[in-house]
Amino acid sequence: MTAHSVALQKLPTDLLQDRLPRHVAVIMDGNGRWAKQRGMPRIRGHQRGADVLKELLRCCKDWGIQALTVYSFSTENWGRPLEEVEFLMMLYERVLRRELDELIRADVRIRFAGDLSVLPEILRNRIDQAVLATQNNQGIQFTVAKNYGGRQEIVQACRAIAQKVQQGLIDPAQIDEAQFERHLYTAGICDPDLLIRTSGEMRLSNFLLWQMAYSEIYVTDTLWPDFDRTQFHQALRDYQQRERRFGKL
């Protein structure tokens, strides 16, 4: 074991284990700007961003955070240049193929949120393989939002419930928040305690609109490819200084 891995496993002394967020969500923004600032093509920013995500997942697991959800590709991202979209699909497939064995060894359970039906077949197959291979892992729950939109998620949940009502499987009087949540992509995962957004943008961008009703929001000007363990440490420290009242006194 290297000195780096030993240091990474140890929770910083100024963080309290019992006050860590159970679930962290991240909007990984700024890959293209990071590359542009360095005179590189945008795809270099996405490549660097994939490496940063790997380190964040490892840090979450080592520090005892139960779940990590990341906004990987939104329903609106299809409007980007075709060359960039095609590269992203190839990058996602390659990363899954390359990292699957490590995910299994690290006891990571991976799942995906979003409409996966329109993704390239080779990527869908790789996703199915990863989900199946890690389904019994008990370490950290890692959710990747792919072709995801918060409004679309709510609409599809409403449709699914309406169909069950029509079939007589659900009494409309039984529909409550718990029933609704069971029809979301994130069913079975606790809501995010903390949302981190990089690159300084002050918006949710259609991400986990239902689930983040009471999430604490932390925004940093740091671009995603520069978001490291020190930046994550600062976000957690800020989170632990907040008083979460959930509308109560």
Is 77 labeled as catalytic in the residue annotation? yes
Is 206 labeled as catalytic in the residue annotation? no
Render the burial of 235-249: b for 16+ CB within 10 Å, e for the rest.
Answer: bbeebbeeeeeeeee
Q: Of residues 29, 62, 191, 193, which has the active-site annotation?
A: 29
Contact present, 245 and 216 (Cβ < 8 Å):
no
Contact present, 57 and 28 (Cβ < 8 Å):
no
CA–CA gap between residue 209 and residue 154 (Å, rounded):
8
Smallest CA-to-CA distance from 23 within 54, 64, 55, 53 is with 64
Smallest CA-to-CA distance from 9 within 46, 59, 52 is with 59
The strand pairing partners of 109, in sequence order, are 141
Q: Of residues 31, 62, 77, 176, which has the active-site annotation?
A: 77
**Residues designated catalytic:** 29, 77
